A and B are shown apart, each in its own frame.
Chain A
Amino acid sequence: MKKAIVSLLAIVLGLVAGALLMAVTGHDPIEGYRYLISGGLKNRERIGNTLATATPLILTGLSLAFSFRTGLFNIGAPGQMLFGGFCATAVGLTFDMPRALLLLAMALAAFIGGALWAFIPGLLKAKFNVHEVVSTIMMNWICYWVVYYGVPAYFKGPSLETESRLLPDKATLKTPFLTDLFNGSYVNMGLILAIIAVIVVSFIINKTTLGYELKAVGFNRDAAEYAGIAVNRGIVTSMLISGGLAGLGGLTQYAGNAANIQIGLLPSQGFDGIAVALLGASAPVGVLLSSIFFGVLYSGRGFMNAMTDIPPEIADTIIAIIIYFAATSILFERLISWISRRRGDKAAKPDKPDGLAETVKNVGKVGE
Chain B
Amino acid sequence: MGYVVEMNNIRKEFPGVVANDDITLQLEQGEIHALLGENGAGKSTLMSILFGMYQPDRGHIKVHGKEIRIANPNVANDLGIGMVHQHFKLVGNFTVTENIILGSELRKGPVLDLKTAAQRIEALSKQYGLNVDPYAKIENISVGMQQRVEIMKMLYRNAEILIFDEPTAVLTPQEIDELMKIMRNLIKEGKSIVLITHKLKEIKAVADRCTVIRRGKTIGTVEVASTSEQAMAEMMVGRNVSFKVDKKPAAPGDVVLRLEHLNVRNSKKVLGLSDFSLEVRAGEIVGIAGVEGNGQSELVEAITGLRRLESGVISYNGNDISKLSIRERIHEGIGHIPEDRQRRGLVLDYTLEENMVLEVYNKEPFAKRGILRRRAIRSYADKVLKSFDVRSGQGAVSIVRSLSGGNQQKAIIGREIELDPNLLIAVQPTRGLDVGSIEYIHKRLIEQRDKGKAVLLVSLELDEILNVSDRIAVLNHGQLVGEVAAAETNEGEIGLMMAGVQRGEGA
Instruction: List residues of A whose CB falls within 8 A of some B CB.
Output: 207-210, 212-213, 215-216, 219-220, 222-230, 337, 341, 344
Contacts and interface: CB of A to CB of B under 8 A. Distances in A.
Given A209-B370, A227-B326, 11 more contacts: A210-B370, A212-B354, A212-B361, A212-B372, A219-B349, A220-B346, A220-B349, A222-B343, A223-B344, A223-B347, A344-B16
B347 A216 contact: yes
Nearest to B354: A212
B358 A208 contact: no
Nearest to A210: B370
A139 B15 CA distance: 47
B330 A228 contact: yes
Contact of A228 (B325, B345, B371): B325
A269 B504 CA distance: 74
22 contacts: A208-B370, A208-B371, A209-B367, A209-B371, A216-B358, A219-B350, A220-B349, A222-B343, A223-B343, A223-B347, A223-B358, A224-B347, A225-B326, A226-B326, A226-B345, A228-B328, A228-B330, A228-B359, A229-B327, A230-B327, A337-B15, A344-B16
Interface of B: 15-16, 304, 306, 325-330, 336, 338, 343-350, 354, 358-359, 361-362, 367, 370-372
B15 A223 contact: no
A12 B329 CA distance: 53
A319 to B, nearest CB: 30
A228 B344 CA distance: 11
A334 to B, nearest CB: 13
Given A208-B372, A228-B330, A220 B15 contact: no
Taking each of A207, A212, A222, which has the highest tally of chain B beta carbons within 10 Å of its own beta carbon?
A212
Contacts of B362: 209, 213
A215 B354 CA distance: 11
Contacts of A210: 370
A267 B51 CA distance: 55
Contact of B348 (A212, A213, A219, A344): A219
B15 A344 contact: yes
B41 to A, nearest CB: 23
B15 A341 contact: yes
Contacts of A216: 347, 350, 358
A226 B370 contact: no
Contacts of B350: 215-216, 219
Query: What 8 A-B pairs are tightest by C-beta distance, nearest first?
Result: A228-B327, A228-B326, A227-B358, A226-B344, A209-B362, A219-B349, A220-B347, A227-B359
Nearest to A337: B15
Given A228-B330, A341-B15, A222 B372 contact: no
A151 B448 CA distance: 68
Given A226-B336, A228-B359, A220 B348 contact: yes
B345 A223 contact: yes
Nearest to B366: A209
B343 A220 contact: yes
A229 B362 CA distance: 10
Contacts of A215: 350
Contacts of B354: 212
Contact of A226 (B16, B306, B361): B306
Contacts of B345: 223, 226
A227 B346 CA distance: 9
A264 B306 CA distance: 47
B326 A219 contact: no
A253 B372 CA distance: 34
A341 B15 CA distance: 7
A207 B369 CA distance: 11
A70 to B, nearest CB: 12
Contacts of B343: 220, 222-223
A222 B344 contact: yes
A216 B329 CA distance: 20
A232 to B, nearest CB: 12
Nearest to B343: A222
Contact of B371 (A207, A220, A225, A226): A207
A225 B338 CA distance: 12
A228 B348 CA distance: 17
A88 to B, nearest CB: 28
A209 B372 contact: yes
Nearest to A224: B347
A203 to B, nearest CB: 9
A216 to B, nearest CB: 5
Contacts of B336: 226
Nearest to B305: A228
A228 B325 CA distance: 7
Nearest to B361: A212
Nearest to B358: A227
Nearest to A203: B371
Given A226-B326, A227-B359, A344-B15, A219 B347 contact: yes
Contacts of B330: 227-228
A344 B346 CA distance: 31
